[in-house]
Amino acid sequence: MLYLASKSPRRLELLRQLGIDPELLDVDVPELRQPGEPAADYVNRVAREKAGAGLLAVMSTPGALVLGADTEVIMGDVVYGKPADAADAARMLRELSGRTHRVVTAVWLMSADREEHAIQQSEVCVAILSEADIAAYLDSSEWQGKAGAYAIQGRAGAFVAHLDGSHSSVMGLPLHETWELLRKFDALPTGKGTSSV
């Protein structure tokens, strides 16, 4: 049984694209970067802690498999997490405007006796945004709960001048890497007469 240690509707939607409908786990993992912790290491650690917290919650379930993921927007050594409010979102969008940033997603898959992970890094070039562009986007409320204050699968897709990497990873779950992890655990759906590996 696969569990998703995330409240993200985007991650659930992406897993369903792979033909998987996991059980959802509501885990409470502090997303606090430690002093001196490299940005990508922070993302990887949080994803692992989410999967670990989820596994602890379902340890009594035979064959439980838990997927945890974390996605962050990073420019230089600055991590742009979820904005606190509209003013914070506006600040983030102004700083990302006309520049290229990284989106790092880490995915961990854990069972009672095994764990595997993958990290996907994409480069996103944001067009120059006017104050009117930013104000209109803030009015949409789409920025709420999104790393870097934008959702590439929504209106902010128009802001992306160039993407080098994985579109699904920028959404929150890299499909190819996740598919490979699930295949290692023999956890992919199978059709009649086919193998799951």
| Catalytic residue ranges | 70
Q: Are 33 and 42 in contact (CB under 8 A)?
A: yes
Q: What is the Cα–Cα distance from 131 to 128, expressed in whole angstroms?
A: 10
Strand intervals (E) in the chain:
2-4, 23-24, 65-75, 78-80, 100-111, 114-126, 160-164
Give how far the C-alpha of residue 71 lies from the chain's centroid of Cα atoms, to the nearest Å: 4
Angle at 189 between CA 184 and CA 194, to 5 degrees: 90
For residue 7, CA distances in Å to 88, 189, 194 come to: 22, 23, 32
Specify the DSSP element, H or E, that contains 167.
Answer: helix 167-171
Query: Angle formed by the axes of helices 131-140 and 86-96, to 10°?
Result: 140
Task: Provide the 10 A C-beta neighbour count for residue 64.
Answer: 19
